[in-house]
Structure 1
Amino acid sequence: MTMDSSSFNPTAEADSGPEPTVYLIDDHEVELDLMQRWCRQAGLKTEVFDEPNVLLARLEQATVGCLVADLRMPQISGLELQAELARRDLTIPVILVTGHGDAENCRAAFKQGVFDFIEKGFDSIQFIDSIEKAIRSNQRDRFRYEVRREARLLLEKISRRENEVVLLLANGMPLKGIAQELKISVQTASKHRSSIFLKLGIDNEVDLYKMLLAAEVDLDKNPEQAEE
């Protein structure tokens, strides 16, 4: 996703981007084949692995889709694999599959951030439903991440003084109040506002507020903290 200051739209639908992929890893070839066949029947792109290290080398920050992993594998468990993904800051959702499910494993999996936990013996409908939910969740997360990143890149264009003005504008302060707060003239405050709007490609304070929300800027901090 790419944006410029004239096209920033944090409310756009997350319906574009790379085709999602279902990454399947299991040390049992028969079960891998079955899961892949179900995915293909549902029109889902798949990649299969029987080696965790090969899978880890394949995934990257821009990966879109989900990962389905056997909980119990000889080299690394599904939980250990998910923990390694988290350590590498790879946010792809993980669905764990096991024939030995129990309450303790479920609690550990969800506490660790696993998206779903299903026991072997599930049917294709349950399996595909879990995958599609995971993919939609990942697409929404990726979209929010890209919107936040692009908004922050735009905000980097403004100066430190303009950053102070931004926070005051976003909190509804009029130009006269900004001038008093920053000990500048109203004319200077107005010039700062015009410069901010020009650099960010926006027209008013409402657009500014939306951009700050998209960038997840703390609107309650003091202007002196704007560069911290």
Structure 2
Amino acid sequence: MDSSPVVYIVDDDPGLCDSVAWLLDSACIDSIVCHSAAEFLGRFDRTRPACIILDVRMPEMSGPRLQEKLADIAPYVSIIFVSAHGDIRMSVDTIKAGAQDFLEKPYDPQKLLDAVQLGVENAEKEFNRYRSMTDVSQKVEMLTPREKEVLAMVVEGLPSKSIGRRLGMSVKTVDVHRTRIKMKTGADSIGTFVRDILRYGTPL
């Protein structure tokens, strides 16, 4: 499975797509051309970090609408908007919504390359963070309701004795739950798993 970063060029202008693909290829950047948001969604690979060069105005689904959709299904992608219309309000709105950049057509090739290279770097970081967050969430979901209760109190910093008192169980039983949590999640220690939960804000 290829897990290297990829750049998607999403624009309904075939000529522009070809020129951008050529530019990226000259810089040894892997790219995939899509002429609509629907085509992009059909070809989007969630197993790879992604930077998207996205046209603002497209038939059926606009760039900002696709941005909204991606915020739900792939919040780790980097988006570089491009537009032939100097719409300051739209550029502000898309940046506020998480886009990395907003370039007006025709744009300087070097400026686009710089934006893409930064986008790829950010996409890799965010993809790895998102994958780690998802991994921690999935491990938490493997636990029983009682194990989650114990874990939540461990996250609070409570020792086994205090946890046992709150839940009406012996210290030995609490420690059995702690051991099961460690085994189920594959963590090196409960402390390590707790740090991951706090780092990613994982709900319990």
TM-score, with structure 1 as normaliser: 0.75
Q: Distance in 2 between matches of 1:81 and 1:208?
A: 35
Letter of the aligned partner of 1:100 in structure 2? H
Matched, 1:22 2:14: no
Correspondence for 1:185: 170
Q: Higher relative contact order at CA 8 Å, sep ≥6: structure 1 or structure 2?
A: 1
Correspondence for 1:7: none
What is the Cα deviation at residue 203 of structure 1? 4.5
SS of the residue corresponding to residue 142 of structure 2 reads: coil
Q: Distance in 1 between matches of 2:202 and 2:11?
A: 42
C-alpha spacing 1:121/1:169, structure 2 compared with 1 (3 Å): same
Letter of the aligned partner of 1:96 in structure 2? F
C-alpha spacing 1:147/1:177, structure 2 compared with 1 (3 Å): same
Letter of the aligned partner of 1:183 in structure 2? G
Matched, 1:130 2:136: no
Letter of the aligned partner of 2:129 in structure 1? R
User: Where does the alignment leave 5 or more consecutive residues of structure 2 unmatched?
Assistant: none
The equivalent position to 1:39 in structure 2, one of 18, 24, 29, is 24
Q: Would the aligned equivalents of 2:38 and 2:61 in 1 still touch at CA under 8 Å? A: no
C-alpha distance after superposition, 1:63-108 (max 9, x if no partner): 5322212333455543344345446x24433211123213222123
Moved more, 73-82 or 139-148: 73-82
Correspondence for 1:162: 147
Q: Would the aligned equivalents of 2:37 and 2:63 in 1 still touch at CA under 8 Å? A: no
The equivalent position to 1:102 in structure 2, one of 84, 87, 90, is 87
Q: Distance in 2 between matches of 1:159 and 1:139?
A: 33
C-alpha spacing 1:104/1:143, structure 2 compared with 1 (3 Å): same
Letter of the aligned partner of 2:176 in structure 1? K
Larger helix proportion of the pair: 2
Q: Distance in 1 between matches of 2:71 and 2:19?
A: 28
Letter of the aligned partner of 2:31 in structure 1? T
* Identity across the alignment (%): 28
C-alpha spacing 1:133/1:184, structure 2 compared with 1 (3 Å): same
Q: Would the aligned equivalents of 1:151 and 1:214 in 2 still touch at CA under 8 Å? A: no
Pairing 1:33-112 to 2, within 5 Å after superposition: 33-73=18-58, 76-86=61-71, 89-91=73-75, 92-112=77-97
Matched, 1:174 2:174: no
TM-score, with structure 2 as normaliser: 0.82
Q: Distance in 1 between matches of 2:158 and 2:33?
A: 56
